[in-house]
Structure 1
Amino acid sequence: MEVAGHRRRWSKEAVVGTLLLLVCMFNAALLNDAGPRTCPNEDYLTEDGICCNKCHQGYKFVENCRGVGLRTTCTPCPDGQYTDQMNFSPNCRRCRRCKTSNREVEESPCRKNQNTICRCEDGYYNFKIDSETFECRKCTQCRPDEKEKQICTPEKNTRCECLENFYKVKNKCEPCRKCIAECKHFCASPTQKNVPDGREVINAIAGCVVGILILFALGILITFKVTKKCTENHLNPSSEPSGVSPDSCEHVLICEELSENPSLKAVPQSPLREQEQPNLPDCVPLEINIPELIYTVLDLVHVQQVKQLVRSLGVKDIEIEQAELDHRLCREAHYQMLRVWAESGSHAGGGVRGGMLHRPLLQDLLDKLRDMHLGRAAEELETKYGIQ
């Protein structure tokens, strides 16, 4: 009986001990299997249950650390990529490109540890669509009845507010004309209901005055330009340049017989006298107005060839320079150069005599024109003045 009871107690103790052993082994297994569940902020937990350090900004992950106290293998981001946070990612992020189509300009270039920073160009502001996307929109211009409360910046749009004595109604500024709640500061007294708006009258008068002044100034300017244009385009060939009196009556006589008979003199003929005496003797020489001849030459010879022509006719450089100094307009200066040539003939004895010009002087002009390959101009002069 005692042996049986002893065996029964031993069996119970063995079972309890076995259960306790199994519980302890199970708990140890759970603890070993779980490992450390958290790591410091700058570390991460590997699949092997080891806390490894993260890669710094500008670097990307290559290989886990191989044990406690060892470092993670990292490598710098390639060009055009970046990481701006501590990480254990095998990839860097691609740098952003500023979009000129969206009115963006680069404020700071992309670096290995920082993405490109773009901003809106001047006159535009950043309108955020979401945390990653924004749009550059044109800065708002305050209306005439508004004033700027805050200027436009690349980050914020313009802020406008109504001018004094105006109030906002449906996003529009209305003038204070009645003693309403928004216009109490404009009212002279609480009982006053209508306040005359003298500002509008003053603005209207000022606008009318400015408009009249502008129209007057435009009228003067247009009149001046039209007059100047007409003067340049309608120069009368018989008109004298500066320094030549319009009342002077100088004529050039071309007549070969004059050299044989100096007593012959030509009298200036008016159109009326020509009609009264249509049949002149053959010995009466042809009479030509000096300014008309000179202007005809200027019309036929290119402006860049006039100085070459007068030099070939014997006009000195000092006389050419003096003509250019005396006359601002090129045509007037060229006129004076040819006039010097015409008058020099009287001093040489073969050109102008008693107000008449011998054929040799005009013939010299025609020869010089042909020497300069201006035969057409010479033919025009011969046709105009009946030279055979």
Structure 2
Amino acid sequence: MEGAWIRRSSPEKAHVRIFLLFMCMFIPTNASTQETLMPQCPQGDYLNEERGICCNKCSPGFKLLKKCSNEGHRSTCKKCPEGQYADQINYAPNCRSCRRCKASNNEFEELPCKSHQNAICHCMNGFYRLDIDTETYECRSCSQCRPDERVNSTCTPTSNTICVCKEGYYRINSQCEPCEKCTTECKRHCPSLPSLNTKAAEPSNSFFINVLAGVGAVAVVMFLVVALITFKVTEHFTQRRVDHPVSQQSDVSPDSCEKVLIFSEESSQTSSAVTHSPTSDQEVSNLPDCIPLEINTSDLIYTVLDLVPVLQVKQLVRSLGVNDMEIEQAELDYRPSREARYQMLRVWAERGSRSGGGRGGMLHRPLLEELLDKLRKMHLGQAAEELETKYDIQCFWSTCQEE
């Protein structure tokens, strides 16, 4: 009897299990169907998810106080309080704070703040607006042209004064130099050439230039070969050849100074395996005087901090490749201070030093070129010019000048 009862109840339990399984499958399907049935609100309305209905947004100058509760009803909006504004249609519970124009920032209020419009500030006369980012700007003093410059474009509320060299002057880096000899910029000092048969003379000039270029290339190759031999032969042979580099030294052109510097660095590694002799010191002393010197890294960083506004230091170091984690670490170690900003630039300089940009606390040419380029892209051309003037960048670029 007991076995028969079990056999009779088993089909009933199976039916219950099937019914429960069907219900579990139906419930999520019904929920997803309800989600798909949520209304798509027209432009200018927003969805009240609690009610599943569309409500109208508040007009500019108002904030949302209460959502609509039924279809066809309107949201309850409230006007922004004094000192706040909302310049777009919205369903935000709060308005935004008005901008304050400060005389201490060299700006004045052109239009006051209203419930539907933020205050509009303009820079005072003699100042122009420099945007730092989409929300931040500075009113900076308009630049004055130097005695050897003239105004090309006057200072406006949105742009600085643009100065160009006066007639009879030409610009070298940041300085206007007077025209005193025949150059590309000073053609009035060049002798006039006959206008006739100009095209006929071009082939001969081209041939002459090609010959000079070929002779110069051969001379450079011969100089490198002779110099390499002097480091590999015996002390006696080096003593016999020591006077030749001196005579060749006087023929080194300004454009070859950087090649001589590169060669001297490579040859010093080769000569480390050769027995030291008195002639090696003499060869080093015979290098041209126009080899570029490196710049003390600490001195440069403090100079940059004096020239670049505090608010733009982070933007500068980010453009130089310093990441936000390194910036935050500098501020954490030294707190927001001049020393923290110094450490941010120090990270960039030391990273460049490890990749070949400088040695022993000295900054070499590639890093300084990068720094000047970033300053100009940030509209800090005046700071770049000050650096070029202080460190005599014209000589630093290995552009040797006749004394």
Shorter-chain TM range is 0.3 to 0.5
Higher relative contact order (CA 8 A, sep 6+): 2
TM-score computed with the length of structure 2 as normaliser: 0.40
Larger helix proportion of the pair: 2
Task: Return the TM-score normalized by structure 1.
Answer: 0.41
